[in-house]
Structure 1
Amino acid sequence: MTKASIPAERWSKPPGAADGPWLLSAGPGSLPGERPTRAAGPAAVLFDRDGTLIEDVPYNADPALVRPLPRVREALDALRARGVAIGVVSNQSGAARGYFGRDGVEAVRRRVEELLGPFDVWAICPHAPWNCCACRKPAPGLVQAACARLGVPATRTAVVGDIGSDMAAARAAGARGVLVPTPVTRREEIVGAHEWAPDVLTAVRALLGADPGEERGA
């Protein structure tokens, strides 16, 4: 049985597994306690990077190839205006495969923030599937690490992504997941999603309209 075939909620780190995720430099206002306490809506929203925030270019470490997807900047600004922490949770197995190092991931991060504004946390899995890490989605480690850095419970956090592993990671961590399908999203992933939206802005508007913790009885 491969790791991908193990339900995310049952997955645990085996002995000798790889170390945890990279937590990259974050934008201003990222320290816990700097944001007002919000009674309604999510306290944090975490986004997949490739295929959700920007165009999916396989194993990309070239800032010149970064292209934001439609309506993403508007969605992020809506969250910032409401005092919601925002972050990125991204599998980047190109690091483990030797295609790029941390500098390449940082270069893309800087370009993304030039185009889309600052994020409060970046949690990156630099491992390949065979490294048996606890952070590569669908495992919950990236979501957990981002929430810990932000000082926000997973039950007050939402994850927005374009494939089933994003939703599985959210579920395994106890967060709310919203799928934003793209042409690479499999039909069974859409059918299996508890929530989905046609684009990131619609997903964010739905998240701001309800408290995910209340919906799950947290």
Structure 2
Amino acid sequence: MKKAVFLDRDGVINEVLTERVKFVNKPHELYFLPGVPEAIKKLNSFFDFVFVVTNQGGVGLGFMKESQLNKIHDHMIAELKKEGATVHDVVYCPHKPKSGCACRKPNSKLIVDLSKKYDIDLSQSYMVGDTDTDIIAGKKAGTKGVFLGKRDPLADAVFPDLISAADWIIEDAAEK
């Protein structure tokens, strides 16, 4: 079985609720957070897969169509590729917040579905996010949880950003 890192998108990979952008509704509104391409490139060197797992309630709320969201993800993947970083697949929940669907984090369906599709050993994998719903989804699926921010009592580790988390993730995975 293979190992993977599952990354939340907004607040982990790209800016959200900053002076430059409130929400990403168009490809040109996607700005990588500092060090993200380098961090993903590092993770690519150790893990079989890097995935993006994201709640995108803006689709369900009518702020954008799924076709627009797919263009944003295609743009993100292409821009990362220019930097030598690979995201192997992007999955998302398009439903409104509080819709009760099985795919919206903190539920783990998106992670579990990816693990089945790509033969991933979830116990050897990591979920990285900037909210407790990300960490809970990872834990429900059986991954370790890495929180980006100040603190999260459920997380296995906490870092200020993805580039500083990447080294710990690789070191921790190498110990297994």
- Cα distance in structure 2, aligned partners of 1:90 and 1:49: 6
Q: Alignment partner for residue 97 of structure 2, among 104, 109, 129? A: 129
Unaligned runs of 5+ in 2: none
How many residue pairs match? The answer is 168
Q: Moved runs in structure 1, 4+ residues, more than 4 A?
A: none
- CA deviation after TM superposition for structure 1 residue 116, in Å: 1.5
SS at match of 1:135: coil
Greater helix share, structure number = 2
Q: Which is higher, the Rg of structure 1 or of structure 2?
A: 1
Structure 2 length-normalised TM: 0.86
Residues 168, 138 of structure 1: alpha-carbon distance in 2 compared, 3 angstrom cutoff = same
The 8 Å contact of residues 136 and 154 in structure 2, kept in 1 or not, is answered as no
Correspondence 1:167 to 2:135: yes
Match of 2:34 among 70, 87, 91: 70
State how far apart, in whole Å, the 1-side matches of 2:91 and 2:51 are: 8
Give the superposition deviation at 1:81.
Answer: 2.3
Q: What do you get for the CA RMSD once the two structures are aligned?
A: 2.0
Hey, what's the Cα distance between the residues in 2 that align with 1:94 and 1:83?
31
Where 1:52 maps in the other structure, the secondary structure is coil
Query: What corresponds to 1:49 in structure 2?
Result: 9
Q: Deviations over 1:54-86 (max 9, x none)?
A: 111554221111100011111111122235310
**Is residue 61 from structure 1 mapped to residue 25 from structure 2 by the alignment?**
yes
- Equivalences for residues 26-175 of structure 1 within 5 A: 43-56=3-16, 57-117=21-81, 118-175=86-143
Identical columns (%) = 27
- Alignment correspondent of 2:145: 177
CA distance in 1, matches of 2:174, 2:132: 19
TM-score normalised according to structure 1 size = 0.71
Give the residue type in structure 1 aligned to 2:161. D
